[in-house]
Structure 1
Amino acid sequence: MLARLGGWSLLEAAQTFLFGYAVARALDHGFLAGRTSVGLGWLAAAAVAVAAGAYGTGRVFRAVSELVEPLRDGLVRRVVDHALESADHGAVSRLTHQVEIARDTFAGLVMVSRSFVFTAAGALAGLASLAPALLLVVVPPLVLGLGLFLVTLRPMARRQETFLAADEEVAEVLDATAAGLRDIAAAGAEARTATEADTRFDAEFRAARTLARWGVLRVLAVAVAGRLPVVLLLVAAPWLLRRGVTPGDLVGALTYLMYALLPALQSLMQALGTAGSRLTVVLRRLTGRPSGGTPAARPPEGEPGARGPAPSGTGTGREENPPRPAAVELRGVTFAYGPHAEPVFRELDLTVPAGGHLTVVGPSGIGKSTLTALVAGLLVPGRGEVLLCGGPVRGAVHRRVLVPQEAYVFSGTLRDNLTYLCPDPPPDSAVLASARAVGAYELLLRLGGPDATVAPRELSAGERQLMALARAHLAPVPVVMLDEATCHLDPAAEARAERAFARRPDTTLIVVAHRISSARRADRVLVMDGTHAVSGSHDELIRCSALYRDLAGGWSEPAGALRDANGVHTIAGARLAGDRGHVVAHRSVGQVQAVGDLGDVRPLGGE
């Protein structure tokens, strides 16, 4: 491959040499001598040389592709392997952006470096063949410009690495923000999140601006090495003519400079100045251990994933005298989404007693939905076992129902949608009672009653969730799991639905919450942070779990419980007139539903 690359490049060098030489001879021996046919013959030879060089350049691309594609494939394998072996939040930037930078840049460097070497060799050989005195004018500024350019390579490489690191940090913060939009909105953390993102954006902007300033020196180097020889050649023309240089030699020298050396030099400096330093940095980051990104918090080797310190009755759920038999039990469960992936859970022990009400909270992407999928039997643990009502979950799937975030409604009647989890058709009174319990009764009446036909596309996301909740409430199963199944409902509707399941006889309820108010209604709360799962009541977790305090801080926790020095309460409930226990809005009253809010509806300063 390298032999083919060099051979076709020699053809390109021959074309460069012949082009300038032919122009000089066409002028001296043809047109200036009055022999037009000789001049045209030399120009025809130059045209043939250009065509031959173009053919050689086309064959060069094939040889370069054989060199470049294996590099790209190797880098992709390395990035993917590293991403599967560790939680690498910068892998997306490396795989979609930096690998392509390395591939394209390496190909460009091979092309322009090869082109410059062979083009410069052909042009300098042509200048020497025309008149050696021409080299005295052309070579010194060429060497000076190249030297100035080489001085800037290392600083530009450092600035390029800073820029790429900033780009990875931007990718990381955007990835985390997109994954946690619901948490951000629910916690009222929009301003803080925007500030953090702006900081990353500003850092990337400053790095790009510094890199651009160093790029100005590259322009100066191009001017010295490529433009200054032309100016010196014109200024020194009388001196050269007195030493035997012909007008044709001068025109040939200008041809070499303007149409061979200068373009090749510009391409070389462009590639080495920007792409070369970028390739060096990217290869160092792709082949070494990436510094960008923050690995997700995971349990250390040998440390249980859910056995961290917890208040009375930890996440293990193994209390000495459990008052009720276990409806759901996880014993030493370890689960990962692939053989090389970091486990989502490691040796997780969890017990939910029959009739219990457990709420699961934690940042987005931490494994809450994975937990419900394991309990539902949709996923199989790598190690450990999941028990449902005392037996393996695989044999007891008829004893649980899982309502996911995106509720499914099929075309058919309302009755079919609400009762298809029931082995025997329930009476209309039971259907209507479940609809009333979860808050779907008005929707059922508006659509035309149980026998009305449903068009799923005409329902909103919240209406589909109400139907799914009524379906689950009607299903004769002892274990109900709501995986953010009320995220499209308002807080009052959410509370009504959860209370309906909690009051249903002989029902164990597990709720993956997107509002901390769900945790206040539960018997126990499981806080997941990727390192330890901590279980306890709301009040216990407020005292012992920093993560839970962060999650709860934007909602309805009284400031007194958090030991606020001023005793300021963040919820209505401190003997306010007309108070019904609603959360006080942190934005203007005009942005809050007026009906059902504070009874006196008298704002303080517009808040």
Structure 2
Amino acid sequence: MNARRQVPRVLVRTLVQTTRRRPRATLRLAAWSLVEVVPTVLFGQAVARSVDAFREGRTGTALAWLGALATAGLAGALGYRRLYAALAAVVEPFRDELVRTVVEGALRRSLAGRPDTGAVARMTHQVEIARDTFAGVLMVVRGFVFSVTGALLGLLSLAPSLLVPVVPPLLLGVALFLAIVPAAAARQREVILGEERIAELTTAMTEGLRDVVACGAENAVGEEAGRAIDAQAAAAHAVARLAGARAATLAVGGWLPVLLILGAAPWLTRNGATAGTIVGAVAYVLHGLQPALNSLVLGLGGSGLRLAVTMTRILEAGPTAGPPPAVTARAGPFVMAEGVEVRFERVTFAYGERAAPVIEGLDLVVSAGDHLAVVGPSGIGKSTLAALIAGLLRPSEGTLSVAGRPPGDPRARVLIPQEAYVFDDTLHANLTYLAPEADDAAVARAVDAIGLSGLARRIGGYGARVDPGALSAGERQLIALTRAYLAAAPLTVLDEATCHLDPAAEARAESAFARRPGTLIVIAHRVSSALRARRVLVLDGTSAHHGGHDELLESSAWYRGLVGDARSQPAGGLGDPDGVHPVAGADLAVDAGQMVADRADGEHQGVGDLSGRGPLPRQL
């Protein structure tokens, strides 16, 4: 659609749809607007009656009318004050919707291999513009509708003939304003696009600053940035030049009615109008119609166009498709996904162009609904694999898909890392963070399945406030696991997410995820996790082996050694009551004073801490 026509339509549609979606808040806004407009309705009448009363010597009557006007002013002030609570109930959810739209659109473009560098400008500057200007535009439109209606009703009550010199120029002024809106919208759009171009250019310059200096390209890059800034400034000047056109609409719709009333005064008096009636009519125009029209022209012509153009850009860059099919199936009060396929095709990943690959040429298919455990020595790339599946990292070569799409859609997967995130709020808020629609019965089932009941009772129930610092690492992991269980995403990735739990608690949590619909991938912390899985991926540093437990005992010498070492370890070894190594690996027969690398990013943990009852890992 042509931008000149699209922008005004977006403005109207935004106002209508947003207020319609919040009927109670909109009704409160309208109710207090009626109270606020009482002085406007009474103003011309009070002026007319008091003028006539003073002329006829009825001072008491004149003062009574002026007193009534003062009382109406107090009522209007109360109504105006109460407007803002209702306005916030409409505007703040609107802002949240915009942020969600921007983020979803940026994610989809990123997953499609088209990074959206303008998303930062949209999510910060543009969304704030939209929120603030939407509030202003809503107040302007509301004020125009109620003030003009009140003033016209007042004129009608004074003398119906007063509408003749007032209504036609008012309509003409509004028509002139609407005629210039498309041109103003096109110019305002250039301002917004200029902001995005500057944001994109600034991002590129910042990321490549070292290369720019190394190549001696400072002048060329500076000239390119200067051209973008000059173009944006020219667009802003073009918008400013339209102020003259807006002034013309105000002259026609706001001042011409006053001249016509005064010019028609002899005719009006011959038809029964008094001097007070003429003065009251002018008061209605100057106090009611003219300020309302002025606010409409300045508000919609400035803030309104910025809102419409910003909304157009946000919608243009928003999500272009619905959620993945696996997320839409429901069973009960919250989403229950049946699982998705994860497919690796010759995937290679390295941390840098000259670094040795952490994962090289991996071919792997995890069927929808399958349960896969990933085992291998410390630092071999297990957590890197989890990050690739979650979309946090991108393959250097090859293709990786989740449900036939590039990975990373937060609605299609849940990733629980080793360090569980718990925030300062109620236990219920922590558990339902990823599933706000889950009812109490669903929460109770998840708590029982994961084994969180004891902790919930100890801290005082679901309504009790959680202090993350007062919880052990294992308790935080239980909360994070229950949150993921409630989310019921079609893909769950547990990246050593049970490393601080004892073996019994770990087995209970993993078994709960395995019984629940969905695809489960576990980065194994203990070999017992591999024994519970349907299939196992072994990364031993030389090759990748994938299959069932019995298959891997035949095909992978490293896996045979891992399982054999675990079974031969005496009970209580390394602080683990089931005699199984806390971290899957062939090199774990170490003394208590040694350190074991827990992942490839330099994070290390003392062996004495691996039971889950010691201090948190520390960065070295």
TM-score relative to the length of structure 2: 0.50
Question: Are the structure 2 counterparts of residues 99 and 401 from structure 1 closer, same or farther at C-alpha, using a change threshold of 3 Å?
Answer: closer
Report the structure number with the largest CA radius of gyration: 1
Q: Aligned pair 1:140/2:164, yes or no?
A: no
Question: What is the deviation of 1:41?
Answer: 1.3
Q: Aligned pair 1:7/2:57, yes or no?
A: no
Supply the AA of the counterpart residue of 2:229: F
Q: Tell whether the 8 Å contact from 1:335 to 1:345 is kept in structure 2 after alignment.
A: no
What residue in structure 2 maps to residue 91 of structure 1? 119
Q: Tell whether the 8 Å contact from 1:102 to 1:282 is kept in structure 2 after alignment.
A: yes
Q: Aligned pair 1:62/2:90, yes or no?
A: no
Q: Tell whether the 8 Å contact from 2:388 to 2:395 is kept in structure 1 after alignment.
A: no
What residue in structure 2 maps to residue 376 of structure 1? none
Distance 2:347 2:167 in 1: 71
Of 167-176 and 339-348, deviating more is 339-348
What residue in structure 2 maps to residue 28 of structure 1? 52
Distance 1:401 1:283 in 2: 41
Q: Aligned pair 1:278/2:278, yes or no?
A: no
Supply the AA of the counterpart residue of 1:184: V
Distance 1:393 1:121 in 2: 83
Question: What is the deviation of 1:147?
Answer: 0.4
Question: What is the deviation of 1:4?
Answer: 2.0
Q: Cα deviation per residue 1:73-129 (whole Å; 9 max; x = unaligned)?
A: 111122233334523211211111111111112212221111111111110111111
Q: Cα deviation per residue 1:388-420 (whole Å; 9 max; x = unaligned)?
A: 9xx99998869x999xxxxxxxxxxxxxxxxxx
1:336-415 maps to which residues of 2 (within 5 A)?
A: 341=391, 343-347=393-397
Supply the AA of the counterpart residue of 2:28: R
Unaligned runs of 5+ in 2: 1-24, 320-343, 360-378, 400-494, 497-522, 524-536, 543-584, 589-594, 603-620
Question: What is the deviation of 1:159?
Answer: 2.2
The partner residue of 2:228 within 200, 208, 215 is: 200
Distance 2:122 2:74 in 1: 40
SS of the residue aligned with 2:38?
A: helix
What residue in structure 2 maps to residue 263 of structure 1? 291
What residue in structure 1 maps to residue 411 of structure 2? none
Q: Cα deviation per residue 1:43-68 (whole Å; 9 max; x = unaligned)?
A: 11011111111111222221111111
Q: Tell whether the 8 Å contact from 1:160 to 1:281 is kept in structure 2 after alignment.
A: yes
What residue in structure 1 maps to residue 207 of structure 2? 179
Q: Tell whether the 8 Å contact from 2:358 to 2:380 is kept in structure 1 after alignment.
A: no
Q: Structure 1 vs Structure 2: percent identity of aligned residues?
A: 44
Question: Are the structure 2 counterparts of residues 120 and 289 from structure 1 closer, same or farther at C-alpha, using a change threshold of 3 Å?
Answer: same
Distance 1:194 1:88 in 2: 23
TM-score relative to the length of structure 1: 0.51
What residue in structure 1 maps to residue 566 of structure 2? none
CA RMSD after TM alignment: 4.1
Q: Aligned pair 1:79/2:102, yes or no?
A: yes
Q: Tell whether the 8 Å contact from 1:5 to 1:63 is kept in structure 2 after alignment.
A: yes
Distance 1:274 1:50 in 2: 29
Which contiguous aligned blocks of 4+ residues in structure 1 show a shift greater than 3 angstroms? 81-85, 301-307, 313-318, 329-342, 344-349, 382-388, 391-398
Question: Are the structure 2 counterparts of residues 230 and 384 from structure 1 closer, same or farther at C-alpha, using a change threshold of 3 Å?
Answer: farther
Distance 1:274 1:204 in 2: 17
Supply the AA of the counterpart residue of 1:41: A
Distance 2:117 2:312 in 1: 18
Question: Are the structure 2 counterparts of residues 331 and 69 from structure 1 closer, same or farther at C-alpha, using a change threshold of 3 Å?
Answer: closer
Question: What is the deviation of 1:245?
Answer: 1.9
Q: Aligned pair 1:168/2:196, yes or no?
A: yes
Q: Tell whether the 8 Å contact from 1:386 to 1:393 is kept in structure 2 after alignment.
A: no
Q: Tell whether the 8 Å contact from 2:102 to 2:318 is kept in structure 1 after alignment.
A: no
Q: Tell whether the 8 Å contact from 2:47 to 2:280 is kept in structure 1 after alignment.
A: yes
Supply the AA of the counterpart residue of 1:19: F
Q: Cα deviation per residue 1:347-405 (whole Å; 9 max; x = unaligned)?
A: 589xxxxxxxxxxxxxxxxxxxxxxxxxxxxx99x9997969xx99998869x999xxx
Q: Tell whether the 8 Å contact from 1:159 to 1:207 is kept in structure 2 after alignment.
A: yes
What residue in structure 1 maps to residue 559 of structure 2? none
Question: What is the deviation of 1:196?
Answer: 1.3
What residue in structure 2 maps to residue 472 of structure 1? none
SS of the residue aligned with 2:57?
A: coil
Q: Tell whether the 8 Å contact from 1:333 to 1:346 is kept in structure 2 after alignment.
A: no
Q: Tell whether the 8 Å contact from 1:17 to 1:125 is kept in structure 2 after alignment.
A: yes
1:17-56 maps to which residues of 2 (within 5 A)?
A: 17-29=41-53, 31-56=54-79
Q: Cα deviation per residue 1:539-577 (whole Å; 9 max; x = unaligned)?
A: xxxxxxxxxxxxxxxxxxxxxxxxxxxxxxxxxxxxxxx
Question: What is the deviation of 1:259?
Answer: 1.5
Q: How many residues align?
A: 351
Distance 1:140 1:124 in 2: 12
SS of the residue aligned with 2:37?
A: helix
Q: Tell whether the 8 Å contact from 1:141 to 1:229 is kept in structure 2 after alignment.
A: yes
Q: Tell whether the 8 Å contact from 1:331 to 1:386 is kept in structure 2 after alignment.
A: no
Distance 1:157 1:302 in 2: 48
Supply the AA of the counterpart residue of 1:103: R
Question: Are the structure 2 counterparts of residues 147 and 180 from structure 1 closer, same or farther at C-alpha, using a change threshold of 3 Å?
Answer: same
Question: What is the deviation of 1:266?
Answer: 1.0
Question: Are the structure 2 counterparts of residues 248 and 332 from structure 1 closer, same or farther at C-alpha, using a change threshold of 3 Å?
Answer: same
Q: Tell whether the 8 Å contact from 2:42 to 2:69 is kept in structure 1 after alignment.
A: yes
Question: What is the deviation of 1:148?
Answer: 0.5
